[in-house]
Amino acid sequence: MSDPIVENKPVLYSYWRSSCSWRVRIALNLKEIPYDIKAVSLIKGGGEQHCNEYREVNPMEQVPSLCIDGHTLIESLNIMHYLEETRPQRPLMPQDCFKRAKVREICEMIASGIQPLQNLIVLIYVGEEKKKEWSQHWITRGFRAIEKLLSTTAGKYCVGDEITLADCCLVPQVFNARRFHVDLRPFPIILRIDRELENHPAFRAAHPSSQPDCPPEVAK
């Protein structure tokens, strides 16, 4: 881990390819909240997230963690809801209660039902030979459900025509799907939304290849 950051800006403990970190980076960017990144390598020395220093920040030994307003918050959805509640400008949740519920549905489907099954600790347990097949199975299963839900909620984006927290969660998961060579042709709505957002400045700035800890051979 790098040296401590002492500025008053929020500090995001992040790993460049972590989709959980990525979704929080998107939300911070969309809300135009300046922040510093403190990189936590999930692979260096067996994983910096397991060191005593970081365990004091996040007892779950995972990223992201966000230090903001004199507090330390963990778990990406929790962090994003805190940002929405404390900084309601540039909202990432609809005003309509039903649409808000649909945003939360999509977020939970990704953050609880799909992404955890590709966590590094899970893939290590599954093993090198089976991790691709394992990831493809669970992403495909989850995307099948999300595509069906989006057929009733999507406008330009996941829920209507405004960017929401659901979009913050979807884009990193599409990246993961491509990483594991998932066939995305059965999911045209997911692909359309991903294409719609790929060049948005907040999403581009949050992309793994734009992160300070992205390996030089990967960075664009």
C-alpha neighbours within 13 Å on the C-beta side of residue 148:
6
Tell me yes or no: is domain 11-89 CATH 3.40.30.10.
yes
Q: What is the structure's pLDDT at 5?
A: 43
Quote the CA–CA distance of 185 and 182 in Å, as a whole number: 9
Q: What is the structure's pLDDT at 209?
A: 96
Give the DSSP H or E segment for 28: helix 19-30
Q: Could you tell me the residue ranges of all domains in the chain?
A: 11-89, 97-204
Mean pLDDT in residue range 144-171: 98
Q: What is the structure's pLDDT at 217?
A: 85
- Each residue of 160-196: pLDDT tens digit? 999 999 999 999 999 999 999 999 999 999 999 999 9
Instruction: Label each residue of 74-138 as H, E or C.
Output: ECHHHHHHHHHHHCCCCCCCCCCHHHHHHHHHHHHHHHHHCHHHHCHHHHHHHCCCCHHHHHHHH
CATH label, 97-204, candidates 3.40.50.720, 2.60.450.10, 1.25.40.420, 1.20.1050.10: 1.20.1050.10
